[in-house]
A and B are shown apart, each in its own frame.
Chain A
């Protein structure tokens, strides 16, 4: 008990004393990895970015650069994976969008993009942005409601303000929920093996439904110790071996 307390106290002290993530130290790592990339040392750059990301930094630029390095290192699956991670953090970034389109062109499996009119409502906004937008309008709603309740002049304006802000807050709450359901409640993944056989059941003896390749995206529906059941962009539901897939 005492030992545990001492340990957590020590950890706390360490947290307070060490430079917090996002300070000069990771930034130096970032620039060092960029320099390695420029020299054509892509595996070195990959190690640099991966080290940076595993030590707490979660910046979209690091994911974006890592994806670039993976592509140059001919690992298109990992390039997809990290670019998708970057896009999750910065959904409106033009470079990410352009590179994703480029990677899709390079990928062996080309499936037509299914139209998703509902999803496009929340796609341009990150989860945090939606959360803060909801929060902002929620605060405005409560504020206007209070002003109306306590007869602050102009009372009518505050009343309509409360209604309008309330509706906007509800819309953002809905979008937040939608985004959460589509991107976070389900696990998404990318095929990282060069080739993967999509089976009709969790075992090698099942029928191969189709053969997918590096960079194929999927949504995980079910997990088994060694297998994932997933939905693929061509509408096929099938099982793939866990080690051939990396989750976002």
Chain B
């Protein structure tokens, strides 16, 4: 019944119906378990009708919970359909003690059902009876040892009492003698109190245990305890699914139909394999003989030091490279301390590390770079650098040395001021702000951008206006050259003024006749030029008509004809006209011309 998902049956048969006669139960497969046991916790709901909701789980925080599946069973009794759904969870105890799993809840048809609480007692080493239908617990240690189990997981360490910082190799082995349905899911052990470094990935080999062939998957992890005392390597686990063969052999003769369906829908059986936690007694590093320069390095190391050059100009950097290589907890190694160097400026320029695993040991190199800049010319000695470490193999402290180094600084003291320009191979020494800007003999005033100023955009109009003016001038020139009427009209006022000026001159020399002739001519010729016509031989009424067709106001026409008539009269009549009157006539003519100027051609 378990591990069975008659999924398509549910899909096909589901019709809305409310369940009745509800039974709601929770059970654990064993009341007493050890820390390494798996407990199957099952919640079963049964009732008539097909729709049974999912129950609400009780608090299971004292256990690691894996869902192991859901099974559903239908039966018809006297034409009434009966449904039973079971949800199974695999519980792994987290600690010892007595745990009560509270009630699970379900609401069906407005009624809430609760299961009775289930009590489980977890002890350090409980003798779990192999009987009792503990399907999740079939592979006990005894069975593993007797070679019965098809699958098991083993953890082992190479040392039980390491020093702080000494490498312990944890080996996890997964033994497999049956086909797996899916990719096993590995959960790493809890490793608090250790610095860990995996030693490669899972490797595959085969092994024979008690005459049984196993495929063995192994993984190794290097552990470095960081604190003395009792430290625990937690338990690792693997979850995998195997073929559920048992079902074939325990076939119920009355369950023929169901069994066939099951083998068809066989989802396999989920297994969770766990290792026992391993306790290590981590020894502290001995205080006796601990060198002052010791800073936590445990293992076996060598130290090398080298300067990239031995002679430099003053103010130029020398890089001192310190390389630590060997096996041990390289990551914990701090930079070897340089002694106080009064002749140099020093900067830590960087560090790099390369970690590899030689066999099952963590090894590698760690490089520190220190930049030294001589402050003055001369020959200087950088004292030897030292590294102290604890060698767990010999159980005592060791100190290694590199150097001393001799550096010659050449050149004069002035060169110190200028730090090196970073060129090829020269490291950038130290970064700081660049100095002030001091070379100013004029400071600029406003920071307001020109685009916010009106004059800037006004300035942009200048060429446009210039261009417009040029184009207009060109047009005018062109018209003067091609349009006689335009040219005459443009000339008219100027010519009229000239003639009137001549007339004015005539007033003084008493040429009355000539004066009136000139005034009359000025007005007539102005009209001729202005309207691009000929006024010679035009009679006064003709003139009147012509001007009227040109849109000159009748009042102005009248005044014009009056002026011309009076001029003609004064020309031929021998009456004496005073200079004042002549002046008046001249003004009148001038006024008339100005008025005519406003008339469009």
Contact = CB atoms under 8 A, between A and B. Distances in A.
Interface string A182-222: 00100000000000000000000000000000000000000
Given A135-B460, A146-B470, A37 B432 contact: no
Interface string B554-571: 000000000000000000
Interface in A1-42: 20-22, 26-27, 30-31, 34, 37
A98 B434 contact: yes
Given A71-B433, A102-B431, A128-B450, A27 B442 contact: yes
Interface of B: 431-438, 440-451, 456, 459-460, 463-464, 466-467, 470-471, 474
B447 A150 contact: no
B510 to A, nearest CB: 53
A226 interface: no
Contact of B436 (A37, A58, A131, A145): A37
A142 B447 contact: no
B470 to A, nearest CB: 6
A48 to B, nearest CB: 12
A150 B438 CA distance: 52
A105 to B, nearest CB: 7
Contacts of B440: 27, 30, 59, 61
A150 B437 contact: no
The range of chain A's interface size is: 35 or more
B598 to A, nearest CB: 33
B445 A22 contact: yes
B467 A145 contact: yes
Given A56-B446, A131-B450, A65 B464 contact: no
A64 B437 CA distance: 7
Contacts of B431: 102, 105
Contacts of B464: 142
Contacts of A149: 467, 470-471
A131 B463 CA distance: 16
A132 B450 contact: yes
Interface of A: 20-22, 26-27, 30-31, 34, 37, 52, 56-59, 61-62, 64-65, 68, 71-72, 89, 95, 98-99, 102-103, 105, 127-128, 131-132, 135, 138-139, 142-143, 145-146, 149-150, 176, 180, 184
Given A56-B446, A58-B447, 18 more contacts: A27-B443, A30-B440, A37-B436, A58-B446, A58-B448, A61-B443, A65-B436, A68-B433, A68-B436, A89-B447, A95-B434, A99-B434, A127-B449, A131-B449, A131-B450, A135-B456, A138-B460, A146-B470
A150 B474 contact: yes
A176 B451 contact: yes
Decide if the interface of chain B is mainly helix, strand, loop or mixed. Answer: loop
B462 to A, nearest CB: 9
11 contacts: A21-B445, A21-B446, A22-B444, A27-B441, A27-B443, A56-B446, A68-B436, A142-B464, A146-B466, A149-B470, A150-B474
Given A95-B434, A99-B434, A102-B433, A20 B447 contact: no
Nearest to B432: A102
A88 to B, nearest CB: 8
B390 to A, nearest CB: 38
Contact of B438 (A26, A34, A56, A131): A34
Nearest to A27: B443
Shortest Cβ-Cβ A-B pairs, 10 listed: A58-B447, A142-B463, A59-B443, A61-B437, A22-B445, A127-B449, A21-B445, A65-B436, A95-B434, A57-B443
B437 A65 contact: yes
Nearest to A149: B471
Contacts of A56: 445-446
A102 B445 CA distance: 28
A227 B256 CA distance: 76
B470 A150 contact: yes
B436 A64 contact: yes
B443 A146 contact: no
A122 to B, nearest CB: 13
Contact of A139 (B449, B456, B463, B474): B463
B299 to A, nearest CB: 35
Contacts of A135: 456, 459-460
A57 B445 contact: yes
A81 B431 CA distance: 20
Nearest to A86: B437
A134 B467 CA distance: 18
Nearest to A177: B451
Nearest to B446: A58
Contacts of B437: 61, 64-65, 95
Contacts of A30: 440, 443
Nearest to B451: A131
A20 B463 contact: no
Contacts of A99: 433-434
A72 B440 CA distance: 22
A135 B455 CA distance: 12
A138 B463 contact: yes
B451 to A, nearest CB: 5
A131 B445 contact: no
Nearest to A180: B451
B429 to A, nearest CB: 14
A203 B404 CA distance: 64
Contact of A22 (B443, B466, B470, B471): B443
